[in-house]
Amino acid sequence: MTSDIFWFIPTHGDSRYLGTTQGARAVDADYLRQVAVAADTLGYDGVLLPTGRSCEDAWVVASSLIPVTRQLKFLVAVRPGLSTPGLAVRMASTFDRLSNGRLLVNVVTGGDQQELEADGVFASHAQRYEISDEFLRVWRAALAGEGGEAGYDFEGKHITVKGARTLYPPAQKPYPPLYFGGSSEAAHELAAQQVDVYLTWGEPPAAVAEKIADVRARAARHGRKIRFGIRLHVIVRETSEEAWAAADKLISHLSDDVIANAQAAFSKMDSVGQRRMAALHGGRRDRLEVSPNLWAGVGLVRGGAGTALVGDPETVVARIREYEALGIESFIFSGYPHLEESYRFAELVFPLLGKGKAAGEQSLTGPFGEVMASNIVPKKAA
């Protein structure tokens, strides 16, 4: 089984250490291009661009990366309630056409009430899922051309449209694939009815298995099949000892006060997924390996995806295979700093997965690696 392997565009910042300016770097247009080009040339299938007020706008950044990449797909967020379905339809269709079918759409309902209210969205958790449901019905129908030249009519509790259609249909038919993540019952039901790929954050395999079983059963009741993906960080080194040392180093500058403040902020969110992430470690440094090689240190201060696979290449691949056995087909990885770690993961793990451009498979007319003493060509390691 060959899964899709995605990387991450760090539009909310990048660093060698969490919680400090030490080792941080400016995330500007040039750096974002470097990360995207690296992912494209190394053979990643796509990249996720995060969304929210802590991030540069995902659509603007992704659009800027179209001309500097060739095969890379872009998983870009739509946020029902922040825009009308009609505007989101035109943005998706235009991006898909200009990128020659490289758009994937990540549906985000939002879980930070303070952030949502700052953006003008005053809706409860239940109401946001009602809005998302109606939004996606219109979005899918308009892009698929339902209603013909007369367009698509819809009258719902929150959204009403008359004659919704797009004159410039997307390159992908009937529309760019929809990805979505959420851990509540409402989220599982929305996924079962409307999306193509259900995403989970990196929980232990048993918890992921329960989610997959529930969403799959719900989809079957609606006569649908759905695919599954997982969002994880990764810390891979040539040896397990080096990997765990790198994990400790990543959070070595975090103070207890910073951790406590971050956890307090997360506790105010109404996201079920965020509560599940926080419950894995409880804000404690002494219980971060929540499952074999699944480390929750990132989640001490980072919202959303807070766990990482940690280990040598063979161990990381073994953990990937465990998730694949549950039904996971897409892996969205990231690592700090994102440019260097994109290379490290590709060089160490891709050959074991049969992905990317492994050493010795490059289309080169000369030696692979640095020539020594003017004429000694590097040999492949035993």
SS3 category, 181:
strand
Cα–Cα distance, 194 to 192 (Å, whole number)? 6
Each as own residue / partner, the long-range contacts of residues 285-292 (CB below 8 Å, 24 or more positions apart, any chain) are 285/251, 285/259, 290/204, 291/204, 291/205, 292/319
Please report the pLDDT score of residue 360 as a whole number: 44
Q: What confidence score (pLDDT) does residue 220 get?
A: 98
Spatial separation of the C-alpha atoms in residues 302 and 282, rounded to whole Å = 13
CATH number of 4-78+177-353: 3.20.20.30
Q: Which amino acid is at 22?
A: Q
- Please give the pLDDT value at position 359: 43
Residues constituting the chain: 382
pTM (two decimals): 0.94
Which pLDDT belongs to residue 334?
A: 98
Radius of gyration of the chain (CA): 21
> What are 104's strand-pairing partners?
75
Q: State how far the Cα of 228 lies from the Cα of 330, in Å rounded to an integer.
A: 7
What tokens were used for 20? 């400090």
Name the residue ranges covered by the structural domains of the chain. 4-78+177-353
Give all strands (DSSP E) within the chain, no chain letters. Answer: 4-8, 14-15, 24-25, 46-48, 73-78, 103-107, 152-155, 160-164, 178-181, 197-201, 227-231, 233-236, 289-291, 294-295, 308-311, 328-332
Q: Per-residue b/e over 232-266, b at no fewer than 16 CB within 10 Å?
A: bbbbbbeebeebbebbeebbebbeeeebeebbeeb
pLDDT in tens, the chain (382 residues): 579 999 999 999 999 999 999 999 999 999 999 999 999 999 999 999 999 999 999 999 999 999 999 999 999 999 999 999 999 999 999 999 999 999 999 999 977 888 888 999 999 999 999 999 999 999 999 999 999 999 999 999 999 999 999 999 999 999 999 999 999 999 999 999 999 999 999 999 999 999 999 999 999 999 999 999 999 999 999 999 999 999 999 999 999 999 999 989 888 888 898 889 888 998 889 889 999 999 999 999 998 899 999 999 999 999 999 999 999 999 999 999 999 999 999 999 999 999 976 544 555 566 778 888 778 888 877 5
